[in-house]
Structures are given as structure tokens and as C-alpha cells.
Amino acid sequence: MNIRTSERIELVDITQEVKSEIHKSGIDNGICVVSTSHTTTAIILNENETGLRHDILDFLEKLIPPLAGYQHDRIDNNADAHLKAIILGSSETIPVTGGELVLGTWQRIFFVELDGPRQRTVNIAKIKKVQS
């Protein structure tokens, strides 16, 4: 799945797209692995509430500020984005039961852009449970 991000640091709710992929796959029971192959992006599960979205981005900027004397900035100016990506992680695994993603009432799947805006790719692997 391709995503065009529009900010340097941004949360993109991809829950509906992942749900559609699961429905199209016809998998009844199994797992879904949502991952990103980029080194300056992440995948997280959390609530899509406007205030919280700002809090998450503010928290990341405070925890790992841009251009704070990192060695990688000598060649690329985006060390903070790599460090944020490490903290958040590059994938999430979500169970699939009865043909639906098993998510809590408030849980959403976010693609996290940390060095945008850019054209990005999200990988969605659908694994069917083997009957035993």
C-alpha cells in the first residue's frame, strides 16, 4: 500500500485500508502483520483523538529533538527520525478472528511519518491459521 505523507512528522490512520485488505483476502482466522520497510517511519496502535495525536507528536519531539548534535546529522540531517523510528517500532501484529481484525474499541492502526513529506510504502501480510 502506498502513502503520500504531507508533513515532516505525522500520524496517518490506515485502519480502514488494512481492514479492507483483510476482507479482500477472505482470511477467517489468522494474523495480520502491518510493517514498514523504511528506517524513518513506524507503525503503532493507539487512539485516534485529535488532542492525543498532537500529544504523541509533541512527546516524540521533546523526547528526541531534531538536530540535537547527533553524528548521523553530519550526512543526513534526520538522525532524530531514525531514533524515533527505533523507539516506536517498525511493525504491529494484529489477530484476525471471524474475518475481522481484533482491535479494541479505541484502537486504530497508524503509519507514523518521521521524516516527510515523502512517498511511502506499508506492507500488509495476511497469514491464515493452519487448522490442527
Task: Report the nearest approach of Zn ion to the CB of residue 91 (Å).
Answer: 20
Q: Which is nearer to Zn ion, 12 or 85 (CB)?
A: 85
79-88 vs 50-63: helix crossing angle, rounded to 10: 120
Closer CB to Zn ion, 7 or 76, in the complex: 76
Nearer of residues 58 and 76 to Zn ion, judged by Cβ:
76
The nearest distance, CB 8 to Zn ion, in angstroms, is 13
- Whichever of 5 and 78 has its CB closer to Zn ion, that residue is 78
The CB-nearest residue to Zn ion is: 76
77 or 121: CB nearest Zn ion: 77
Report the nearest approach of Zn ion to the CB of residue 40 (Å).
6
* Interacting residues with Zn ion between 54 and 93 (CB under 5 A): 76, 78
CA dihedral 77, 83, 112, 66 (to 10 degrees): -40
For residues 107 and 46, is the Cβ–Cβ distance under 8 A?
yes
Give Cα separations from 132 to 27, 28, 125, 126 (angstroms): 16, 15, 22, 19
How many positions of this chain bind Zn ion (CB under 5 A)? 2
Report residue 119 CA to chain centroid gap.
Answer: 14
Shortest Å, Cβ 35 to Zn ion: 19
User: Which residues contact Zn ion (rule: CB under 5 A)?
Assistant: 76, 78
